[in-house]
Amino acid sequence: MTLPDGPLIVQSDRTVLLEVAHPSADDARHDLAVFAELERAPEHIHTYRITRLGLWNARAAGHTAENMLETLEKYSRFPIPQSVSVDITETVARYGRLIIERADDGALTLTATDAAVLSEITRTRKIALLLFEKRGPNSYVIQAWARGQLKQELLKLGWPAEDLAGYTPGTPHAIDLVEDGWALREYQLKAVSNFFAHGSGVVVLPCGAGKTLVGAGAMATAGTTTLILVTNTVSARQWRSELLKRTTLTEDEIGEYSGLVKQVRPVTIATYQILTARRKGEYTHLALLDALDWGLVIYDEVHLLPAPVFKLTAELQARRRLGLTATLVREDGREGDVFSLIGPKRFDAPWKEIEAQGFISPASCYEVRIDLPEQERLEYAASADDERYRLAATAPAKLGVVRALVKKHEGERILVIGQYLDQIDELADALGAPKLTGSTPVDERERLYQEFRDGTTKLLVVSKVANFSVDLPEATVAIQVSGSFGSRQEEAQRLGRLLRPKESGLPANFYTLVARDTVDQDFAQNRQRFLAEQGYSYTILDQDNLAAA
């Protein structure tokens, strides 16, 4: 038997090595990303890991163990280790062995296809407390309030439950799409269809690919009162604007529930911040979750869902839940809670695939490495560990590089992005550009964003507030001066600012400025895992050869 000269090497510890320069590397990466997570992405060999959660997410999205093994066999240079084949088959087979259903009398039940599995899990004290009584040989009645918590506990034991208990329809409210000169794209229609085939779960699409329109499509399909949870007030206003433009909803039917306004209407858009606000140790605005009989709850940027909202979501399991995100990566490691409480991944489309269809702009990614002057290097070396990143990230030497890049792209719309407020002040002053931070009033933010959109302002210096749900389609250049350590989710958001299709037709350029031989460079490598995961390569430039970009 002749083995193909494939780009993958599958190892017995469930890591998979991808040879980047291989002619089939892009195809292999595309197929592998369905069930494996990228761990390391240096220049020549990328390392993926096959995890249980990745396999279960893939199974929930409709991929079988046979599909996944076929991918490995198709691209592997050597035979798949037998232990890996068995592991994948048995892990995937765990999904669906436990089923949550609703009995004829309305009771929630947990049913097992395997009596031994049921015996194993019911011996666990945390799970036993959530079960009410035995019903039949392989079934238990679940405590009425415990649907979400039970799914969390079962996942921790390695037995993910398939939730088929159904959802409340909510109060009917007619919502139709107004497709005036536009229509949902094929992948958006499929995302909506896959979501409703199951009733809850996550749709993964790149920034600029129309996640809001998937939300609007889901709302039109559901035809019910809807609660939309978003990252901030600017995002809430943008959702409202899109819904007014794309659906039959009127201004009187859409409410904003934030720190500024408290409106509850058939479609209510609330911020995560207001939902997690506390007074005297109590969540002040929990009543919003029951203010109306919501038939659909949409979680925008679900990878940023604050930890307290997971607890609140555990009590919303009877309502349809749609998570929207560009990446399932969470820096706090709580992907399992997204899986069990919002729902598994129901649909995803790789960034490069949607780019190839012309729906998002192509992007070139660059890392510009900057040498610290001798005195700054000595100061860095003598500093405590917790100070080193800030010193490297805010190195004054970066300012000259920012100036050079702004000059290189003169006339284009440019975002300069920083993490630290004093650095943002310095950049704004040096560039003579307006700045936008968390302390900028919402009305002022919206004015600056609008001026950037219409071209009145072509250069903005922004903090991380611009990471989330901000629609700036004509931005063609982003210069990332500093970031949140090694955050891959932040890299997704910042690159996403550039990917929306542009009337100008200009390509997108994403620059990250990194202080050489510092923790700044180490963190940059982690962030770049996201770029590699999506099929983007990046070019390393020296500060003295920017003209090569």
Pairing mode, strands 161-163 and 226-230: unpaired
**Which CATH architecture does the domain made up of 361-548 adopt?**
3-Layer(aba) Sandwich (3.40)
What's the pLDDT score for residue 449? 83
Local confidence pLDDT in tens for the 549 residues of the chain: 445 689 999 999 999 999 988 999 988 988 998 899 887 777 688 889 999 999 999 998 889 999 999 999 999 999 999 999 999 999 999 998 999 999 989 899 999 998 999 999 999 999 999 998 899 889 999 998 899 999 999 999 999 999 999 999 999 999 999 988 899 999 999 999 999 998 899 998 877 788 999 999 999 999 999 999 998 887 898 899 999 999 999 999 999 998 888 999 999 999 988 888 888 777 888 888 888 999 999 999 888 788 778 878 888 888 999 999 877 777 677 888 889 889 999 998 776 678 778 787 777 888 888 888 888 888 888 888 778 888 888 889 899 999 999 999 999 989 898 888 899 999 999 999 999 888 888 888 889 888 988 889 999 998 876 655 456 667 888 888 887 644 555 555 666 666 666 666 777 888 889 888 888 777 776 666 666 666 666 788 887 777 555
d(CA 342, CA 361): 30
Q: Provide DSSP, 415-454.
A: EEE-S-HHHHHHHHHHHT--EE-TTS-HHHHHHHHHHHHH
SS3 label, residue 269: strand
Question: What is the Cα gyration radius of the chain?
Answer: 24
What's the pLDDT score for residue 433? 94
What's the pLDDT score for residue 547? 58
Pairing mode, strands 477-480 and 414-417: parallel
Per the CB < 8 A criterion, the answer to whether 135 and 109 are in contact is: yes
Exposed / middle / buried, residue 87 (Cβ in 10 Å: 0-12, 13-18, 19+): middle
Q: Is 373 left (phi over 0), alpha (psi -120 to 50) or beta?
A: beta
Strand order in the sheet with 131-134: 131-134, 139-142, 108-112, 98-102, 161-163
Identical fold between 186-354 and 361-548: yes
What does the CA dihedral 109, 111, 115, 121 come to, rounded to 10 degrees? -60
Q: Provide DSSP, 111-155.
A: EESSHHHHHHHHTSHHHHTTEEEE-STTEEEEPTT-HHHHHHHHH
What's the pLDDT score for residue 463? 84
Secondary structure, 3-state, 210-265:
CHHHHHHHHHHHHCECEEEEECCHHHHHHHHHHHHHHECCCHHHEEEECCCCECCC
Pairing mode, strands 278-279 and 282-283: antiparallel
Q: φ, ψ for residue 313 (rounded to 5)?
A: -70, -30
d(CA 120, CA 469): 44
d(CA 414, CA 479): 8
Q: Which residues pair with 435 in a beta bridge?
A: 461
Per the CB < 8 A criterion, the answer to whether 357 and 212 are in contact is: no
DSSP assigned state of 160: P
DSSP assigned state of 271: E
Exposed / middle / buried, residue 112 (Cβ in 10 Å: 0-12, 13-18, 19+): buried
Helix axes 186-198, 211-222, angle to 10 degrees: 50
Residue 499's nearest CA partner among 489, 491, 507 is 507
Q: How many residues does the chain have?
A: 549
What's the pLDDT score for residue 485? 46
Give the DSSP H/E element, type plus range, for residue 333.
Answer: none
Give the DSSP H/E element, type plus range, for residue 65.
Answer: helix 65-75
Domain parsing of the chain, residue ranges: 8-93, 98-159, 186-354, 361-548
Helix axes 442-454, 233-246, angle to 10 degrees: 50
User: Could you tell me the pTM of the whole model?
Assistant: 0.78
d(CA 381, CA 335): 36
**Which CATH architecture does the domain made up of 186-354 adopt?**
3-Layer(aba) Sandwich (3.40)
Helix, strand, coil percentages (3-state) for the chain, rounded to 5, are 40, 20, 40
- Taking the alpha carbons at both ends of the chain, their separation in whole angstroms is 46
C-alpha distances (whole Å) from 189 to each of 192, 246, 268 are 5, 15, 23
What's the pLDDT score for residue 437? 87
Residue 159's nearest CA partner among 120, 125, 130, 197 is 120
Per the CB < 8 A criterion, the answer to whether 527 and 486 are in contact is: yes
Task: Give CA 111 to chain center in angstroms.
Answer: 32
C-alpha distances (whole Å) from 172 to each of 220, 277, 412 are 11, 29, 46
Give the DSSP H/E element, type plus range, for residue 5.
Answer: none
SS3 label, residue 179: coil
Q: Is 83 left (phi over 0), alpha (psi -120 to 50) or beta?
A: alpha
Strand order in the sheet with 8-10: 8-10, 15-19, 45-50, 36-40
